[in-house]
Amino acid sequence: MSKEGHKYIFIIGGVMSGVGKGITSSSIGLLLQAKGFSVNLVKIDPYLNVDAGTMNPTEHGEVFVLNSGLETDQDMGNYERFLGRDLGPEDYMTSGMIYQSVISRERALGYNGKCVEAIPHVRDEIISRIGDAAKHNGSSVSVIEIGGTVGDFQNALFIDAARVLGIRYPGDVLYIMVSYLPVPGTLGEMKTKPTQNAVRQLNACGLQPNFLIARGKYPLDKKRKEKIAIACSVPADQVISAPDIESIYEVPLNFEKDALAEMLTKALNMQDEQKTELTAWRKFSRGIMNEKRDVVDIAIVGKYFNTGDFVLSDAYLSVIEAIKFSGVVCNVKPRIHWVNAKQFEEGISLSTLARYDGIIVPGGFGKSGIEGKIKTIHYARTRKIPYFGLCYGMQLMAIEFARNVAGLTDAHTVEIDSHTPHPIVDILDSQKEKIQKKEYGASMRLGGYDMVVKKGTIAFGAYGEEHLVERHRHRYEINPNYIQKLQDSGLVFSGVSPNGVLMEIAELPHSEHPFMLGTQFHPEFHARPLSPHPLFTAFLHSAIARRKKRTESV
Ligand code: GLN
C-alpha cells in the first residue's frame, strides 16, 4: 500500500487523441469529489515545451494560466471548472519541464557521477512529481491524465512511471483506458478492433486496464461490450459506454448512470464518505442545456484567421465557457458570433454590429486587426452597446478613449507603435530587459495578482467585494503617466493594484454608458460552472437589457 493509503487513477488514451481524455479525467475527479474524497487532477503533456506559454493558441488551443502563473494546457481549465477549485503548478507537467530538472540536477553533480538515463532517472523524476502533486494538494486520490495515445514514442516514459507506481503500491493504482470505437460510414457498424489493438499495445507496456471508457458516436451495445470484455480481459461492467453527448457537463452524470464512481472506489478499496452528491451540478447541467431560454447575441470581435470555427472555439475556450455559465444564472442562452475585426479595416460597415446585444474584444497579441477592434470599441461606446474588454480588449478601450475623448489623437500601445507620441499602453522596465534578452518564455505578468476595487463603481456592484485576486497574462500596462489625463476626461479606473500603480479595471460610469468595462486581467480563468464570474454576469445582464429594449422597439 502507498504510504498514506493514497490512490492513483491513470487515464490513458487508446486509438487516437482528441476523444475526451480530459473530460473523462475531469468527470472522474468531480464524481470522486462528490463522494466526499479530496481529489487532485494532474495533466501530463508529453511535448518538449517547458510550458504551454510559447505555443500558438490557434494550433494548440487556449493557454490556460494558473494562479501560480504557470501557463498550461486548456485541459487544466476543464479540471478547475469541474472541481470548482484552483489547481497548483504541481498538477501540471511536460516532458520539457521534467528533462529540464533532470539536466539541471546533472549539471549540479546531483547524480553523484552516474550515467543519467531516461530510465530510471527521467522516469523517477516523473514519479516524484506525481507524488509531490498529491502531497501538495493533501488529496486522498490523484487522477492523472497521460497526454497522447498508447503506442506514442513521446509518452512511453509516463506510461512506464504509471506501471512502476502500480508495482510499488498494489491495490492503490487503477488504469483507465479511454478508447475510440469508430463507425465506418460504409459499414454503419461500430467496430471494436482498434480498441482491442490499443489494449494489446498497453499490455505490451506491462499494463492491463481495469476500466475501459468506450468513446464513440453511439452508445456501446451489449454484444460489443461483451466482445471487448472477452478480448481485452476487462470485466463487462467495467467497460463503460460513453457516446457523444450534447454537453461536456453531462459526462459525469452519464458515468453516474453506470455507477462508475462507486465501482472505482470499490476497486481501490476506498471507504465511501457519502452518497454521490451532485444536486447542484445536475441543476447547472439542466440549466446549460435548457433550449427554452431566451437568446442573447454576443459578438466576439477578434483577429480571426482562416482556421475554422473548431479551432477558434478552442483558442477562446475559457471565454466561451464563462459566458455560458453566466447564461445559466441569468436564464438566457448566449449565442456567440465570431466577428473578424479586420473586415472593419477593409470597408465593411460597423453598423453590422448593431444586431448584437453585447460585444467582447478578447485577449490578443500583435497588430493584426487592431484598428478594426478600436473601431468596434468606438462603435460600442458611441452606440451604447454593452462592451466587455478582456486584457487587450481593455488596453484598446483605453486607447480608443484617449484618441476620441481625451483628445490624444495618435494614442497607441507601444506593442504596435513604439514611436507613438502618446504611449497610453506601455511596457514596464522589467519587461523591456526581458524582451532585449529574448526571454519570452514565462516572462509576462502571469498569474494571480491582488486587486482593490473602488466602491461605488460598476465593478464593485458586480463583485460586491473590495479585495480580489485575478489572473493575468500580458506584457503591457496602462501607462501611469496618462492616468490623470484619462480620468480627467471621464474614464474610471475602478480596479487597481494594491500600490495604486497598475490599472486593473477601466470603466465608464452608468450615466455615460450601460456597460463599458475592460479588465487588464483574464476574468474567464476564474469562471466556474457553480460560481460564474460576476463581471461576465453583469455584462450579460446589460446585454439582456439591450435585447429587451430592441425587441420592444420592433
Ligand atoms: N498584447 C497585450 C499585452 O501583452 C495583451 C495580452 C492579452 O490580451 N493577453 O499586454
The predicted-structure confidence for 167-210, as pLDDT tens digits, reads as follows: 999 999 999 999 999 999 888 899 999 999 999 999 999 999 99
**Gap between the Cα atoms of 54 and 453, Å rounded:** 32
pLDDT greater than 90 at residue 94: yes
Residue located nearest, by CA, to atom 1 of ligand 1: 365
CA of 476 to the centre of ligand 1 (A): 6
With a 6 Å cutoff on the Cβ, whether 392 touches ligand 1 is yes
With a 6 Å cutoff on the Cβ, whether 362 touches ligand 1 is no
Please, which residues bridge with residue 240 across strands? 213
Confidence class of residue 463 from pLDDT cuts 50, 70 and 90?
very high
Alpha carbon distance, N-terminus to C-terminus of the chain? 70
With a 6 Å cutoff on the Cβ, whether 373 touches ligand 1 is no
Nearest to 24 by CA among 240, 207, 208: 240
Please tell me the predicted confidence (pLDDT) of residue 55: 86
With a 6 Å cutoff on the Cβ, whether 526 touches ligand 1 is no
**Gap between the Cα atoms of 41 and 22, Å rounded:** 10
| H or E element at residue 265 | helix 260-267
Closest ligand 1 atom number to CA of residue 425: 10
Closest ligand 1 atom number to CA of residue 522: 9
Closest ligand 1 atom number to CA of residue 365: 1
Confidence class of residue 306 from pLDDT cuts 50, 70 and 90?
low
Closest ligand 1 atom number to CA of residue 364: 8
Nearest to 524 by CA among 323, 332, 329: 323
Please tell me the predicted confidence (pLDDT) of residue 307: 55
Q: What is the maximum alpha-carbon separation in the chain?
A: 80
Active site residues: 391, 522, 524
Confidence class of residue 101 from pLDDT cuts 50, 70 and 90?
very high
CA of 527 to the centre of ligand 1 (A): 20
Give the residue-averaged pLDDT of 461-472. Answer: 98
Mean pLDDT of the chain: 94
With a 6 Å cutoff on the Cβ, whether 476 touches ligand 1 is yes
**Gap between the Cα atoms of 107 and 100, Å rounded:** 11
Give the residue-averaged pLDDT of 143-159. Answer: 96
Please tell me the predicted confidence (pLDDT) of residue 308: 53
Residue located nearest, by CA, to atom 9 of ligand 1: 363
Please tell me the predicted confidence (pLDDT) of residue 437: 77
Q: DSSP string covering 313-372, please?
A: HHHTHHHHHHHHHHHHHHTEEEEEEEEEGGGGTTT--GGGGGG-SEEEE----SSTTHHH
With the most atoms of ligand 1 within 8 angstroms of its CB, the residue from 474, 478, 503, 521 to mutate is 474
Cβ count within 10 A of residue 44: 28
Percent of the chain beyond pLDDT 90? 86
- Strand, helix or coil at 227? helix
Give the residue-averaged pLDDT of 65-76. Answer: 96
Q: What is the pLDDT of residues 323-373, one digit of tens each?
A: 999 999 999 999 999 999 999 999 899 999 999 999 999 999 999 899 999
With a 6 Å cutoff on the Cβ, whether 190 touches ligand 1 is no
With the most atoms of ligand 1 within 8 angstroms of its CB, the residue from 316, 388, 392, 434 to mutate is 392
Side-chain half-sphere of 136: how many Cα atoms within 13 Å?
16
CATH class for the domain made up of 7-38+98-283: alpha beta
Closest ligand 1 atom number to CA of residue 476: 10
With a 6 Å cutoff on the Cβ, whether 474 touches ligand 1 is yes
What are the structural domain ranges in the chain? 7-38+98-283, 290-553
With a 6 Å cutoff on the Cβ, whether 363 touches ligand 1 is yes
Amino acid identity of residue 548, one-letter, is K
* pTM confidence score: 0.95
**Gap between the Cα atoms of 353 and 358, Å rounded:** 9
CA of 363 to the centre of ligand 1 (A): 6
With a 6 Å cutoff on the Cβ, whether 389 touches ligand 1 is no
Q: Do 7-38+98-283 and 290-553 agree at the fold level?
A: yes
With a 6 Å cutoff on the Cβ, whether 303 touches ligand 1 is no
**Gap between the Cα atoms of 198 and 215, Å rounded:** 13
Homologous superfamily assigned to 290-553: Class I glutamine amidotransferase (GATase) domain (3.40.50.880)
CA of 397 to the centre of ligand 1 (A): 13
Task: Kindly state the DSSP code that residue 406 receives in the 8-state scheme.
Answer: S
Residue located nearest, by CA, to atom 3 of ligand 1: 474
